Amino acid sequence: MSQQSAQRKGRPPRISRAEIIETAGRIVDAEGVDRLTMRRLAKEIGSTPMALYHHVRDKEQLLVLLLDDYAARNLHRPDLPDDPRERVVVVAAAIRRTLAACPWIVEVLTADDLMSEAALWFVEQIMDGLVACGLTADEAVHAYRAIWYYTAGEMIVRAAGERRRADGDRPTYRERVFADADAAELPRVAGVASRWAELTAEDTYLDGLRALVDGLLAAPASPTARAASRRSRS
């Protein structure tokens, strides 16, 4: 535990995990996440690729560490409204606003859950709001997860859409599929086909979030019905 006095063993470190994360963050901010490679990072830091492996397990862990660092510095706690339901919405929206500003989260999201220390306060507020609205602790966990699924999905799908729009105006595959939609067989789809891109470009995260939270908090099925549905799942 007392490492400043006892430098007796081995050679002193030249690079630190903090330095690795900081440099990695700079590369990612400046050039995007797929320009971050262990070799490139080592060069930037003035070391060799293998030196990095003494401080992080592998590239995947580095990415998770990077997002934790980002969350710790950018996840600002919002003012909490009194109404517990509104608290849930406001806190979820705060998570999403911060993470959506960081276009490479998708890479990490698909590698691991975001569950940094900095995020725990947000989870706490969401769960507390849900419990204050009448959910049990277990129900609150499941409801929180549903909110997280919706939030993560929105960010990922939106990021994919933006990437698609970014690299070239080549007529997207989806547009061709829609154009082929038969109005007789698929009237609803055909009816909005021409406006699909425009409609799905709108940011409706908040509307959907409110609907989800309302639904999660609406008078649920009776306890017996819930128990039955739980049984049928296992």
Question: Which residues in 11-50 contact DNA (CB under 7 A)?
Answer: 11-15, 36-40, 47-50
DSSP 5-70: T---SSPPPSS-HHHHHHHHHHHHHHH-GGG--HHHHHHHHTS-HHHHTTTSSSHHHHHHHHHHHH
216 binds its own copies (CB under 8 A): yes
Per CB under 8 A, contacts with its own copies among 162-191 are: 163-164, 172-174, 177-178, 180-181, 185-189, 191
Residue 216: count other Cβ atoms within 10 Å of its Cβ. Answer: 20
12 binds, among its own copies, DNA, none (CB under 5 to 8 A by kind): DNA
- Rounded Cα gap, residues 50 and 229, in angstroms: 52
- Tokens 């908040």 belong to which residue? 206
Output 42 or 102, the one with its CB closest to its own copies: 102
168 binds DNA (CB under 7 A): no
**Binding letters toward DNA, positions 58-87, x by CB under 7 A:** xxx---------------------------
Length, in residues, of the chain: 234
Of 157, 143, 53, nearest in space to 96 by CA: 157
Per CB under 8 A, contacts with its own copies among 97-136 are: 106, 109-113, 115-117, 120-121, 123-124, 127-128, 131
- Rounded Cα gap, residues 169 and 181, in angstroms: 21
97 binds DNA (CB under 7 A): no
218 binds, among DNA, its own copies, none (CB under 5 to 8 A by kind): its own copies
Answer for the pair 49, 38: CB distance below 8 angstroms, yes or no: yes
Q: What's the first-to-final CA gap in the chain, in angstroms?
A: 47
**Binding letters toward its own copies, positions 132-151, x by CB under 8 A:** -----xx-xxxx-xx-xxxx
Least distance to its own copies from the beta carbon of 33, Å? Answer: 12
Answer for the pair 76, 120: CB distance below 8 angstroms, yes or no: no
| Residues contributing to the site for DNA (CB under 7 A) | 9-15, 36-40, 47-51, 53-55, 58-60
